[in-house]
Amino acid sequence: MIAIKSGVLPMGREQWEELGVKRNGASLLTPVSLVEGEILEFMETRSKTTLSEIVAHLSWPVPIIMIGVGGLINQGLLIAMRHDTFILLTRKF
């Protein structure tokens, strides 16, 4: 079972649970997609943030957060730049 903070998803519990039902052996709702959504929600109020701020804000394991950030960069929704010892993330939306 995936732990989800209340109010994170813009749909009712029954709707997102139905998406998580396995169809043909694969779930349509994965932890990575949930993390991506939470990252985008976090970035809505910020134009820039660091990777460490995202990790501190979200309650997911760091490897899943890293995969989610990579996915959003790959989709062109975030830009990552190295700034001193930090990874600076900028939103493109």
Which region, left, alpha or beta, applies to residue 69 given φ > 0 means left and ψ of -120 to 50 means alpha? alpha
Q: What is the pLDDT of residues 27-77, one digit of tens each?
A: 656 888 889 999 999 999 898 999 999 999 999 889 989 999 999 999 999
- The whole-number pLDDT of residue 75 equals 92
What are the sequence ranges of the domains in the chain?
13-91
Q: Determine contact, residues 81/90, Cβ cutoff 8 Å.
A: yes
Question: Among 66, 59, 27, 58, which Cα is nearest to 41's?
Answer: 58
- The whole-number pLDDT of residue 3 equals 43
**CATH number belonging to domain 13-91:** 1.10.10.10
Under the banding of pLDDT at 50, 70 and 90, the label for residue 86 is: confident
Position with higher pLDDT, 24 vs 32: 32
- Record the pTM: 0.68
